[in-house]
Amino acid sequence: MRRILTILTLSLAPASAYAEALGGNIYIHDPSIAVLDTGMVSFATGVERAPDGGMPRTKTSPDGITWQEAGALPGGMPKWVTTELGFTPRNVWAPSVFAKDGTHYLYYSVSSFGHNDSAIGLMTNAALDPADPTQGWVDQGMVIRSHEGEDFNAIDPFRIDVGDKAYLSFGSFWDGIRQVELDPATGMLLDGAQPMPIASRGGGAIEAPAILEHDGQFYLFVSFDSCCRGRLSTYRIMVGRADTVTGPYVDATGKPMLDGGGTELLATKGRMIGPGGQEVFERDGAPWLAFHFYDDDDGGRPKLELAPIGWTDDGWPTLPALD
């Protein structure tokens, strides 16, 4: 979801993982987290047919535990979206926030469910205010586009910078996850850059890429299977790793992610149904995972969860055991 996101070091209260740890308003889809000097801000998929035009929604937390709604980004659907797509989407999907040199870059997706007539746009904010994270955003327009008939889908963006280069990973279904180089200053597509495949299930369900750099290797997190069905959701979080950000990524058995590989990190267990839509962020200098799940104890409603990432002796990510 998406880079490591820290701008300033923030000492947050420790939180045990999963469900019981978080409180307040944690109803969310596709979370992306910014860590600021006075707390945390989440960005998430907008509400369909909402008066605000389905724009990305924000929440704030002083400690990463108790969350409150801060509202949707104002202004309604950016004008370029309807002009480019030929229709007005019901909502904006899977916004992903990235911080660099004091500026926040918010990548977002516009599409219609089940189609790859889609685009990824960008908003920037030179002074994100944790007291009101909905203000200060300037839309920069379209970053990349996919059309019906092409074999990729321009949704679920995630940015990571490596050295003096920047990369955007994205994708859902079709031929899987793509990656393209960005201009690190503007956040827009680098001139002449072409999207390259980094993970695929041959048309099967894979989406929501997020990349983490750790100890000289790169870890690609994705979601397999079905989102957005409440208690019937089968989402699960998978991971592979590579020696370079561009891949090739393989799972723990050595199977390439381009050939459907992926090592399962988290799946349905107990009250937590269909965890996915994940992103990585940095908290107190350590990597964490943000994701949503469907709470079987609350009618299958989607909720936020944050979990610290640990590591096995052979360098694979782990999450705390479920209760």
Residue 179 lies in a domain: yes
- Tell me: the pLDDT tens digits for 208-227? 999 999 999 999 999 999 99
Residue 143 lies in a domain: yes
Hey, which residues are catalytic here?
30, 207
Token pair listed for 21:
């740890």
Residue 5 lies in a domain: no
Residue 13 lies in a domain: no
Percent over 90 (pLDDT), the chain: 86
Residue 3 lies in a domain: no
DSSP 20: G
According to the model, what pLDDT value does residue 113 have? 80
Q: Which whole-number Å values give the CA distances from 36 to 42, 58, 129, 211, 283, in the listed order?
A: 11, 14, 9, 21, 10
Residue 274 lies in a domain: yes
- Tell me: the pLDDT tens digits for 74-107? 999 999 999 999 999 999 999 999 999 999 999 9
Query: How much is the pTM?
Result: 0.93
Number of domains in the chain: 1
Please tell me the distance from the alpha carbon of residue 108 to that of residue 139, in angstroms, as a whole number: 11
CATH number at residue 122: 2.115.10.20
What range defines the domain where residue 258 resides?
Answer: 19-318
Residue 8 lies in a domain: no
Q: Which residue has the tokens 């610290």?
A: 308
Residue 4 lies in a domain: no
Largest Cα–Cα distance of the chain, in whole Å?
52
- Tell me: the pLDDT tens digits for 142-198? 999 999 889 999 999 999 999 999 999 999 999 999 999 999 999 999 999 999 999
pLDDT classification of 19: cutoffs 50, 70, 90: very low
pLDDT classification of 322: cutoffs 50, 70, 90: low
